[in-house]
A = this chain, B = another copy of it.
């Protein structure tokens, strides 16, 4: 049997999705719970390796098991009864034997939240990046548009990433403004290590005037120049993890 789970979690108290020697990961907590439930050792394949402090509403994780003794649709309720409150399984379904939760992912959507107010909102401290300077949304929208399409995103990738190719496609990047909040929602074919957080950090630089968003050939402006340069030092800093949520993975 090959089973696919949809998982939501608050990442605050975990060292990230992936199992690590130091610290408790979401993967470990879920695998241990599934093992206790089924009586056999379970190995999960996650769609996305979210960092420490990053959250998920639509993470996907697959596992293979000889036999599942309860109906698959009852799995979420039974697992959730054994999980801590900061992790919840929202769906469980059978998938074909060849299905791989990581490699078969076609697109992923992430959301990044800026708390754009003079003083930080304590209710959002684990779910946003507090930016006290007023963000210029129009400039941020222009910069987001530069990133759409198929590009080599080396300038937006942490140097210790392991991907062989740095070419990815971004399908959509939207900025939304609400009172004291700015939200970036980005959908792509896949993302390099720290890529969404570097995009979020770069757009923050654009919104506060540290970088210019948009090109008018032949003089390229900062964000397009950074993208073309493949030079990490020309993009903005890596935004902190707690503003990031993995919303959806599509197969």
Are A121 and B85 in contact (CB-based, < 8 A)?
no
Known A-B contacts A88-B120, A89-B119, A90-B119; A125 and B80 likewise in contact (beta carbons under 8 Å): no
**Do residues A88 and B127 form an inter-chain contact, with CB atoms below 8 A?**
no
User: How far in angstroms is the closest Cβ of chain B from A152?
Assistant: 33
Q: Which of B8, B55, B119, B125 contacts A10 (CB 8 A)?
A: B125
For the complex, give the distance between the alpha carbons of A245 and B124 in Å.
13
Partner of A122, one of B87, B120, B122: B87
Task: List the B side residues contacting A85 at CB < 8 Å.
Answer: 120, 122, 125
Within 8 A of B (CB), among A48-72: 55, 57
Residue of B nearest to A9 (CB): B122
CA distance A77 to B118 in the complex (A): 9
Q: Tell whether A123 is near chain B: CB-to-CB under 8 Å.
A: yes
- Interface set, chain A 160-180, CB cutoff 8 A to B: none
A27 to B92, CA, bound (A): 45
From 163 to 212 in chain A, residues with beta carbon under 8 angstroms from any chain B beta carbon are: none
| A125 CB contacts on chain B under 8 angstroms | 10, 85-86
A76–B120 alpha-carbon span in the complex (Å) = 11
Closest Cβ–Cβ distance, residue A85 to chain B (whole Å): 5
Contact A55 B119 (CB under 8 A): no
Greatest chain B CB density within 10 A among A9, A10, A122, A125 is at A122
In angstroms, Cα B87 to Cα A122, docked, is: 6
CA A80 to CA B120, docked complex, whole Å: 9
Which of chain B's residues have a CB closer than 8 A to the CB of A121? Answer: 8, 57, 88
Please tell me which one of the listed residues B9, B55, B80, B123 contacts residue A8 in the complex, with CB atoms under 8 A apart: B123
Bound form: Cα–Cα A89–B77 in Å: 41
Task: State the CA gap A251–B31 with chains docked (Å).
Answer: 54
Give residues of chain A (117-135) contacting chain B, Cβ–Cβ below 8 Å. Answer: 118-123, 125, 127
CB distance from A87 to the nearest CB of B (A): 6
Tell me the bound Cα distance from A57 to B180 in angstroms. Answer: 12
Q: Complex formed: what's the CA distance from A88 to B120 in Å?
A: 7
Interface residues of A (CB under 8 A from B): 8-10, 55, 57, 76-77, 80, 85-90, 118-123, 125, 127, 245
What would 15 more interface pairs be, CB under 8 Å, given A55-B123, A123-B127?
A: A8-B121, A10-B122, A57-B121, A76-B119, A80-B119, A85-B120, A85-B122, A85-B125, A86-B125, A87-B122, A88-B120, A88-B121, A88-B122, A89-B119, A90-B119
